[in-house]
A = this chain, B = another copy of it.
Amino acid sequence: MNKELVGVINKNYIARETVELVLYSEEIAKTAIPGQFLHIQLPNHTLRRPISIASVDLEEHTVTILFKITGSGTQLLASYEHGMQLDVIGPAGSGFPIDDLKQDEPVLLIGGGIGVPPIHFLLEQLNARGVETKTILGFQTEAYVFYEEAFRKKGQTTIVTDDGSYQNKGFVTDYIEAAGSFQRYYACGPMPMLKALKSTMTEKEGYLSFEERMGCGVGTCLACVIPTNDEAGYKKICQDGPVFAANEVIL
């Protein structure tokens, strides 16, 4: 992990209030693994903003992030253009463990809203390793849907919207059974979704990626703790996470 200035290569609005930024960083592109995030400084903001890595391009040395404009920080981030520079710490946190996956069984990927970006990065890596994926993505409404094509190209994909304005209606949890069998699941999304997943799939091995308000983002301030079953009693989302095994954390 490092602090570096990265150049903005490209910016795109890809859905309602949703922006994709392509950043140039040889180092981060080379070392990042799915689930890790960038901790981004913004002028006149005390706290950095954690944003997951959505993909990397090893040839172009670029890192793509994707975020929803929800407040003053993301609003400011959306104003960055080609040629400007961002001060980022990263790649931060630990990622989704995938080294021990079996080759011959599919995995289930579940992403909700702004939890989709790290799942997309994971999809790309699993695909590169030849692991079959099935994906369920949840969005608020049609206007917020993004990356559908990217997922479809690489495996079975179900899109769910809260109001049914696009494809299926309801919650991602409603579509897990229909997804069929899988060896393990990986999920990122809002806390209610992660809670529902953990309580529905008790016998399945699963990894969840969490969000919490962060101070330092590097493991020092203890702002971002999550209660765990182990002796310490807690883990740090920014450093030990954001990804945890579903059965090690207490939600």
Measuring CB to CB, which residues of chain A are less than 8 angstroms from any residue of chain B?
43-44
Contacts and interface: CB of A to CB of B under 8 A. Distances in A.
A43 B45 CA distance: 13
DSSP class of A's interface residues: helix, strand, loop or mixed?
loop
A44 B43 CA distance: 10
Nearest to A43: B44
A43 B44 CA distance: 10
A108 to B, nearest CB: 45
A75 to B, nearest CB: 13
Contacts of A44: 43-44
A229 to B, nearest CB: 45
Contacts of A43: 44
A43 to B, nearest CB: 8
Nearest to A44: B44
2 contacts: A43-B44, A44-B44
A7 B44 CA distance: 24
A65 to B, nearest CB: 24
The 2 closest A-B pairs by CB, nearest first: A44-B44, A43-B44
A72 to B, nearest CB: 11
A182 to B, nearest CB: 49
